Amino acid sequence: MFLSVKHRILGPIALLIVIGAATTAWISYEAVRTHNDLQSQEKRAYEFLFSVERAQEAFKSLEAFSGDILSFNDVMSPQTLRARYQLLRGALTDEISHIQDIVESPELARSVERFAADAEIWKHEAEIALGLVDEQAIPTRIRLDHLRQRADDALSEIYRTAKSDAILRSGMKSERYKSRVDTIFYSMLLVFAVFGFFFLMFGRGLTGSLGRVARSMERIRQGNFEPGIEREFSKDEIGEIARGVQAFGETLEALTQANEQVKHLAMHDQLTGLANRRALEAHLERLISEHGEHAGKVAVFHVDLDRFKQVNDMYGHAAGDEILRHASKAMEDNKRRSDLVARIGGDEFVIVLMDTESEADAARIAKRMINAISEPIEIWNDVVNVGASIGIAFLDEAETNIERILANADMALYIAKGAGRGRYSFYSAETRRQFETDMSLLRELRVGLERGEIIAYFQPQVDAASNRLIGFEALARWVHPSRGLLGPGQFLSLAFDNGLGDRLSDIMVREAISALREWRNRGIDVPRVSVNFAAKQLRDSGLTEYLDDALFQAGLSPKDLAIEVLESVLFGDDADPAHATIAQLKRHGYRIELDDFGTGHASISNLRKFRVDGVKLDRVFVTGVDSDAEQEMILRTLIDLCRNLRISCLAEGVETDAERSKLFALGCSHIQGYVAAKPLAREDVVDWVTEQSAQQKRPKAV
Amino acid sequence: MYKFVIGLVLVSGLLVVPAISSQRDLRKDFERQVRISFPEAAPYSPQAAALGKMLFFDPRLSGAQNMSCATCHNPSFGWETPVARAIGVLNQPLDRHAPTVENLAEADALFWDGRASTLEEQAVGPITHPKEMNATLEEVVNRLAEIATYQRLFNIAFPHEGLTRDTVLGALSTYQRTLRSGWAPFDDWVQGDESAISEDAKRGFELFVGEAHCALCHTGWALTDHSFHAVGIPSDDPGRGAIVSDDQGMFKTPGLRNIALRAPYMHDGSLATLRDVLVHYRQGGAENFPRDNSITPLEISERDIDDIMAFLNTLTAYDPHVSAPALPAE
């Protein structure tokens, strides 16, 4: 049954009013009725009592008359006596019959009958005594008195009984009225109780429903959008409210979700789902404002993926995205709950680590992160490796500027990357100093490149057996205006890391070509000049054409230029465009040499595949070979490998005659190093060649 | 011991119960009659009774018009007069004490010696006796006839006869037959009201009907056998012996109703108080005078006498119920 709230509230009130009114009316009716009853009963009682009194008077008159006669003080004629007696007796008889007519209670009626009988006996005896009946046995005066007394008593008894009856009956009426009122009252109480109970139930249902609605609203307020509104709210106003609440909840839920989404979008990176820079900054700001509430230090990791650009270039953006997701997941998996990982740029991430106990702790985590990111990824059936470098800075009392902290981490990262890939580095004052030095060096380098301060030095490569010149390796030198001559170790990686590699390579190629041209013009037979190329330059598909053009303009040919590439270039897969460039250079007749052979993990099969013209044994194998048997054995193996593959072999960094002799003994006659000559300025080469020629013409000192 | 006590209680109980029941039975003998039987020859009428009362109190019935019947039968003294022997018209004591006129309707012998057999007959005596009222009936009738009211009243009471000698006597007799001593505490006791009389009186009653032999003669509700007995009164009056020669010294037994009002006692008023009377009977009367066989000395104590007196006092009516009539004067 569905009752509207209005009915549920107003209904009981109306019903209670009706019950109250009905009860009042009933009680009033009973009161009036009882009053009327009492009045009429009182009237009848009075009438009866008056009759009895009249009967008493009539009886007394009759008796007095009889008494007068029987005192024998006067002689009354029988006729008069009879007449007067009968008059009085008639009055008495009338009263008695009137009493008999109006008597109500049977008990009283019996009393009246008794009195009538007594009076009759008395009358009979009195009539004898009065001479109205012929009888010789005359009742004594005493007997008459007794009989009169009996009748009198009976009448008095009637009077008393009637009186007490009237009182009793009016009392009974009152009692009945009282009990009726009691009954009504208790009925009313019962009705009130019963209805009240039902109304309470109704009210309870009502308040219960309201309570549920209220709780639902409270839940909504607390963000639980399942209002839990049941079907029972169907028809009444509360049902409407409940449905309203439900709709409200649903709308609010949708809005909240949208809001969450907007917030998420604002604060998160779309691709990886990680926090974005803004979220990071907010997080850091919060940390700074809460500073001191964290037990340990807060570490900020600046993570940069190694080789990401290569993979992106090689496999496209979709693959890059895949790498980013992989890296994100790796970091997310390895962070703690309280830590935050944010993506702040293409392949740059920041991890905020809470409560880092020590640098060692941070280092451990950084290592774990690097390892996780470095896990090989399978992309389109290929296995790709990226690495990561991490710069670490701490958030401490001294440092509360977010920008500076991030910059510090960035500097540390820079240092880490500078130290080689897959490393981490902590920010320190030294870091900053080095970074700033590097940056100022970079600025100077940019200027220097424009001013031609970068020049090539040439280190001769000779055949140890014949002491014949094989060629020169062009090595970059920076003629720094204030610091003097700087070697490549001091600026090369700086240049390559900062996009100056192409420009540097360009300078080196032009220097090498112009130097060779010059030497040839001056009649010096220089077979070739080697120039180093980084993988990035090799990936430029226009490299071959550019070299061809430069050689052609100088009147030279590709065989005059050897391309030195790092062994690691060949380590990559077939998709690397550098491989195509190498193959093209090879086809055009350029000599390809592997630099730093033995350190870059080039596969033997790739040596065959690219038909590399020569390898350069790294100086780590060469230095000290004359005194280390194990090193000697490795070197022997490498040399044997080259010989067997018919690849020419040149040892770098040969500094002593002993080393030269040992290499020679092992079968590697081509050497480069101080034992032969230091790198020479372009203008010194002519003198050196001339001197060498002169020495060769002299008999060999034994 | 206990058994003995219980037995004693039981035995005494058995003795007491019949005693009570017999006393109750005895009481029945003293229940009052509710009717007065009038003789056929003298029918009752209230008019006759009323007329009789007037005559009873009317001194014009005496020769010298100085005495009425009530002079010696004064209702205030139990219808007697408180002298040993009544004083007559000659202002001299008569021979005997005036007896009461109460409760005589049933009596078939009147006067101490019973020489009259009806009240009518008896009434002639005192009116006409020269020592008493000293009138003749003719004189009385004539005197009354001169009073118109009496004429009228006689015509009412006796419509056929009017005022005659007989109707005068009849009226007097009718009135006297209506005279009954009033309701006394003893009557209440007889009706069963145990608290009506004292325990002494009850004991007195026991003695009265028992050991003291009183009830041998004083029987019935009026406490008289309406008979004649010699009780050893020292007197030379022959009493009943003047009528019946065998009954020398016998006198009519007087009723004992209102007896306390009626001193002095005996036919000659020789005993001044009831105690004297009781002492007389305890002694068994005077030895040299006629006595019934039943008159013998009694073994009763002073206390017994007190008790019997207490009983006799219970016979005095609550209310003498006598009012005086207005007499016609002419």
Q: A137 and B182: CB-CB below 8 Å?
A: no
Determine the pLDDT at residue B8. 47
CA-based torsion, B138, B141, B142, B143: positive or negative? positive
Mean pLDDT, chain A, as a whole number? 84
> Which residue of A66, A68, A75 is the best one to mutate when testing the B interface, meaning the one whose CB has the most B CBs within 10 A?
A75
Active site residue B40: no
Domain boundary among B150, B177, B204: B177
Quick one: B196 and B309 in the same domain? yes
B19: confidence class by pLDDT, cuts 50, 70, 90: very low
Distance of CA B250 to the CA centre of its chain: 16
pLDDT at B128 over 60: yes
Instruction: Confirm whether B37 is domain-assigned.
Output: no
* Chain A residues whose C-beta sits inside 8 Å of any chain B C-beta: 69-78, 81, 129-131, 134-143, 145
Quick one: B206 and B273 in the same domain? yes
* pTM tops 0.80: no
* Alpha-carbon span A621 to A311, nearest angstrom: 31
C-beta separation of A65 from A72 below 8 A: no
pLDDT at A526 over 90: no
- Please give, rounded to a whole number of angstroms, the shortest distance from the CA of B246 to a CA of chain A: 35
CA-based torsion, A256, A261, A266, A268: positive or negative? positive
Instruction: Confirm whether B1 is domain-assigned.
Output: no
Q: Which residue has the higher pLDDT, A165 or A350?
A: A350
Instruction: Confirm whether B7 is domain-assigned.
Output: no
Quick one: B188 and B214 in the same domain? yes
Quick one: B149 and B201 in the same domain? no
B17: confidence class by pLDDT, cuts 50, 70, 90: very low
- For the beta carbon of residue A596, count every other beta carbon within 10 angstroms: 19
**What is the tens place of the pLDDT at every residue in A370-389?**
888 888 888 777 788 888 88
Question: Alpha carbon of B33 to those of A134, A139, A434, B29, B39: distances in Å?
Answer: 19, 9, 167, 11, 16
Residue of B nearest to A72 (CA): B50
Q: B38 and A139: CB-CB below 8 Å?
A: no
ipTM of the complex, rounded to two decimals: 0.85
**What is the tens place of the pLDDT at every residue in B290-310?**
888 888 899 899 999 999 999
Contacts of B33 in chain A (CB under 8 A): 140
Q: Read off the CATH number of the domain in which B164 is found.
A: 1.10.760.10
pLDDT at A296 over 70: no
* Peptide bond just before B264 cis, omega within 30 deg: yes
Quick one: B152 and B188 in the same domain? no
Instruction: Confirm whether B24 is domain-assigned.
Output: no
Instruction: Confirm whether B33 is domain-assigned.
Output: no
CA-based torsion, A497, A503, A509, A512: positive or negative? negative
Determine the pLDDT at residue B13. 46
Quick one: B201 and B141 in the same domain? no
**What is the tens place of the pLDDT at every residue in A15-36?**
888 888 888 888 888 888 888 8
Across residues A310-316, what is the average pLDDT? 78
Instruction: Confirm whether B2 is domain-assigned.
Output: no
- Reduced to 3 states, what is the DSSP secondary structure of residue A316? coil
> Which residue of B31, B38, B45, B58 is the best one to mutate when testing the A interface, meaning the one whose CB has the most A CBs within 10 A?
B45
* Alpha-carbon span A52 to A104, nearest angstrom: 13
Q: A73 and B325: CB-CB below 8 Å?
A: yes
Residue of A nearest to B322 (CA): A71
Q: A75 and B51: CB-CB below 8 Å?
A: yes
Determine the pLDDT at residue B47. 93
- For the beta carbon of residue A414, count every other beta carbon within 10 angstroms: 22
Contacts of A666 (CB under 8 A, 6+ apart): A632, A635, A636, A639
Residue A460, by phi and psi: left (phi above 0), alpha (psi -120 to 50) or beta? Answer: beta
* Angle, CA of A373, A374 and A378, to the nearest 5°: 95
Determine the pLDDT at residue A31. 83
Determine the pLDDT at residue B100. 93
What beta strand segments (E) does chain B contain? 35-37, 228-229, 251-252
Quick one: B168 and B212 in the same domain? no
Instruction: Confirm whether B162 is domain-assigned.
Output: yes
* Alpha-carbon span B35 to A157, nearest angstrom: 28
Determine the pLDDT at residue A94. 92
Across residues A60-73, what is the average pLDDT? 90
B68: confidence class by pLDDT, cuts 50, 70, 90: very high
Across residues A475-492, what is the average pLDDT? 86
At residue A394, φ and ψ (nearest 5 deg) are -110, 145
Quick one: B206 and B301 in the same domain? yes
Across residues A136-140, what is the average pLDDT? 90
Quick one: B169 and B57 in the same domain? yes
Q: B156 and A81: CB-CB below 8 Å?
A: no
DSSP for A72-108 reads: TSS---HHHHHHHHHHHHHHHHHHHHHHHHH--SHHH
Give the single-character DSSP code of B98: P
**What is the tens place of the pLDDT at every residue in B217-239?**
999 999 999 899 999 999 889 99
Quick one: B172 and B192 in the same domain? no
Q: Which of B35, B38, B51 sits opposite A140 (nearest CB)?
A: B35
Residue of A nearest to B176 (CA): A72
> Which residue of B150, B153, B154, B156 is the best one to mutate when testing the A interface, meaning the one whose CB has the most A CBs within 10 A?
B156
Determine the pLDDT at residue B156. 93
* B186: nearest Cα among B18, B17, B29: B29
Q: A138 and B38: CB-CB below 8 Å?
A: yes
Determine the pLDDT at residue A387. 86
Annotated ligand binding at B217? The verdict is: yes
* Alpha-carbon span A651 to A672, nearest angstrom: 6
Contacts of B321 in chain A (CB under 8 A): 141
Residue of A nearest to B42 (CA): A136
Determine the pLDDT at residue B309. 95
Determine the pLDDT at residue B10. 46
C-beta separation of A589 from A623 below 8 A: no
pLDDT at A397 over 80: no
Q: A142 and B38: CB-CB below 8 Å?
A: no
B12: confidence class by pLDDT, cuts 50, 70, 90: very low
B321: confidence class by pLDDT, cuts 50, 70, 90: low
Q: A76 and B323: CB-CB below 8 Å?
A: no
Which range is least confidently modeled, A271-275, B112-116, B222-226? A271-275
Q: Which of B34, B53, B157 sits opposite A139 (nearest CB)?
A: B34
- Please give, rounded to a whole number of angstroms, the shortest distance from the CA of A72 to a CA of chain B: 4
**What is the tens place of the pLDDT at every residue in A423-464?**
888 888 888 888 888 888 888 888 888 888 888 899 999 888
Quick one: B193 and B224 in the same domain? yes
Quick one: B127 and B166 in the same domain? yes
**What is the tens place of the pLDDT at every residue in A238-250?**
778 878 877 887 8
Q: How many CA atoms lie within 13 A of A215 on its CB side?
A: 9
pLDDT at A105 over 80: yes
Domain with B159 in it: 46-177
Annotated ligand binding at B97? The verdict is: no
What beta strand segments (E) does A287-401 contain? 297-306, 340-343, 348-356, 377-379, 382-384, 387-395
- Residue A540 burial (CB < 10 Å; 0-12/13-18/19+)? middle
Domain boundary among B177, B197, B228: B177
Instruction: Confirm whether B104 is domain-assigned.
Output: yes
pLDDT at A231 over 60: no
Q: Which residue has the higher pLDDT, A501 or B11?
A: A501
**What is the tens place of the pLDDT at every residue in A629-688?**
888 888 888 888 888 888 888 898 888 888 888 888 888 888 898 888 889 888 888 888
Domain boundary among B177, B208, B242: B177
**What is the tens place of the pLDDT at every residue in B149-184?**
999 999 999 999 999 999 999 999 999 999 999 999
* Residue of B80, B102, B120, B132 marked catalytic: B132
Q: B53 and A72: CB-CB below 8 Å?
A: yes
How many structural domains compose chain B? 2
Contacts of A141 in chain B (CB under 8 A): 178, 180, 321
At residue B109, φ and ψ (nearest 5 deg) are -140, 130
Strand partners, A424: A390
